[in-house]
Amino acid sequence: MWYDVVAVRPLADFRVWVRFADGLEGEADLSDLAGKGVFKQWTDDPGAFEQVRVDPQSGTIVWPGELDVASDRLYDEVTASSGSVRSGR
């Protein structure tokens, strides 16, 4: 299943706040990726993680250098977290 991200904001400790097209919003913890493989740049360059943005074509979040995280992973994490909310859209 594909879930389009429409907004993202970087948070501390390699977490992001995201909002999806269906109105669901909340936090996703990406700390398990930090420092591993292509995501090593997040730990090597303290400002790299904060460069996150939404790619409207793919509907997910991306960083410079073609880094991305699948939107279905983000959606699953947000729905599993207690802080998720669905806006009134």
Distance from C-alpha of 63 to C-alpha of 76, rounded to nearest angstrom: 20
Residue with tokens 């990406």: 30
Assess if residue 38 is contained within a domain. yes
Assess if residue 89 is contained within a domain. no
Assess if residue 69 is contained within a domain. yes
- pLDDT on residue 84: 52
pLDDT at 34 over 80: yes
Which domain does 49 fall in, by range? 5-83
Whether the model pTM is above 0.85:
yes
Confidence label for 66 from pLDDT (cuts 50, 70 and 90): confident
Task: Give the chain's domain count.
Answer: 1
- pLDDT on residue 81: 81
Assess if residue 88 is contained within a domain. no
- pLDDT on residue 83: 56
Confidence label for 85 from pLDDT (cuts 50, 70 and 90): low
- Strand ranges across the sheet with 5-11: 5-11, 15-20, 24-29, 85-86
Q: What average pLDDT score do residues 14-29 get?
A: 96
